[in-house]
Structure 1
Amino acid sequence: MIKKGDFVKISYTAKLEDGTVIDSTDESVAREHGVYEEGARYGDIVVVVGEGHVLKGLDEDLEGKEVGYKGTVEVPPEKAFGEYDPDNKEVVSITKFSERPVPGQRVRIGEKTGIVEKVIGRRAIVDFNHPLAGKKIIFEYEIKELIDKPEEKVKYLFLIYTGRELVPEIEDGRVVVEVPRDATFNQYFLLGKFTVVDQIFKHLPEVKEVVFTEKFERPEEKQETEAKEESSEGKEEAQKETEAKEE
């Protein structure tokens, strides 16, 4: 049975009560229903049950299920995007915008994001409720796999919190992770890695230490390594072509 703290791989499609698809882990479904996001990662996702990686209603429904489960759960507003608050609106001067706002436009005012509801003269009414506030969300989902290997758990924690696919090494309670060169000064990665460390210690009690390393090569040695890799790839492609012709 799935329980809190388990790492599970799932797929899902989320709809409104009228059947409108609002999200999906399946790229073809997202494209078909006009909710595809350029640059977004599609395919099965891994979540840690109870950590809020998906909406609360879906997160809670995972508990007690088994790998292979396929089903539907109706998530009420209070366990989705919250109830709609008619008072969560503000009248904002159009001087606060870089260009004249129009109804339906998504805008950011200070630390808040909202939707322009109306524009009256030199004032705009901005609704700061989530676009799906007050809506019941229906999830059709499947539990694909239970992740058990510590290395896999660490890998997915990095993917969840930093967006990076890293390959950790674990030995004698010590996790070693090589930091990519382009992530060294990436603010999102720098902030996310501390959350990953906290999650590692929380969910992998056998880990006593987490070490981050950086690797630098001499330019000429790096070029030699890349040349060897390209040569190896070229040989593999030539071999595949030869085998294809023989067939």
Structure 2
Amino acid sequence: MTIKEGDFVKISYTAKLEDGTVIDSTDENVAKEAGVYEEHARYGDIVIVVGEGHVLKGLEEDIIGKEVGYKGTVEVPPEKAFGEYDPNKKEMVTLKKFKEKPKPGDRVRVGDKVGVVEKVVGRRAIIDFNHPLAGKKIIFEYEIKEKIEDPVEKIKALFLIHTGRELEAKVEDGKAIVEVPKDVAFNQFFILGKITAVNKIFEHLPEIREVELVERYVKEETKEESS
């Protein structure tokens, strides 16, 4: 059960800085204890497709060649984590770009970039567009829980990865049938993600020749009909 590129694997992990500060974890309790818990985040083991960048490159590379059941630690250097710190990624931005005057430490969006306000000088702000963890070594404690082989579970995993939604699915005669919840009809993230998920199904499951997305509506009974 050696892990190779293209495999679907279920893992758990906790990520720390060199000083031991926890920055992320798949374990809800660990995240709460460390003060990094996010209310709307999904906790528990995650499924990744090895080689597709679903986790940091350094962690992904360490997973390859390991076996199911492996528990260990890997130190990921900045260039295989969030990148080296680049002092040239700081910019002076006029305060006219903001609805409200920003303060040092605020995360702000300028055009298509997100950065942190380093300081405000007169009518301009110095924005650092480096990732907050740029230049940091990340230490992962992780476990490989399972290698996913079942086609249905792979399909469900791909939709979860690319749309953020857990969907019901089944396979019949080379066709993947996926139930789509009615509340995503106008969800742009889901609409774009489902296209990627379908393409990935064809890429990773050659036995699937067709994907059918089913929107199911059930009529609610009126009082007269139920009496």
TM-score when normalising by structure 2: 0.95
Matching residue of 2:183: 182
Segments of 5+ residues of structure 2 without an aligned counterpart are: none
Matching residue of 2:55: 54
Which structure dedicates a bigger proportion of its chain to helix? 1
Pairing 1:23–2:57 present? no
Alignment of 1:67-146 (within 5 A): 67-146=68-147
CA distance in 1 between counterparts of 2:9 and 2:54 reads 11
1:183 is displaced (CA, Å) by: 1.2
Secondary structure of residue in 1 paired with 2:87: coil
CA distance in 2 between counterparts of 1:90 and 1:29 reads 36
Segments of 5+ residues of structure 1 without an aligned counterpart are: 228-247
Matching residue of 1:205: 206
Q: Which moved more, 1:128-137 or 1:94-103?
A: 94-103
Secondary structure of residue in 1 paired with 2:73: strand
CA distance in 2 between counterparts of 1:42 and 1:213 reads 27
AA partner of residue 91 (structure 2): E
Matching residue of 2:217: 216
Q: Which has the larger radius of gyration?
A: 1
1:220 is displaced (CA, Å) by: 2.2
1:100 is displaced (CA, Å) by: 1.0
Matching residue of 2:9: 8
1:167 is displaced (CA, Å) by: 1.0
1:176 is displaced (CA, Å) by: 1.0
Runs of at least 4 residues of structure 1 off by over 3 A?
A: none
Cα RMSD (Å): 1.4
AA partner of residue 127 (structure 2): V
> 1:162-208: CA deviations, max 9, x gaps?
11111111011111112111012211110000000111011111111
Matching residue of 1:231: none
Matching residue of 1:240: none
Secondary structure of residue in 2 paired with 1:8: strand
Secondary structure of residue in 2 paired with 1:87: helix
CA distance in 1 between counterparts of 2:215 and 2:12 reads 34
AA partner of residue 136 (structure 2): K
Q: Which moved more, 1:179-188 or 1:41-50?
A: 179-188
Seq. identity, %: 72
CA distance in 2 between counterparts of 1:152 and 1:190 reads 21
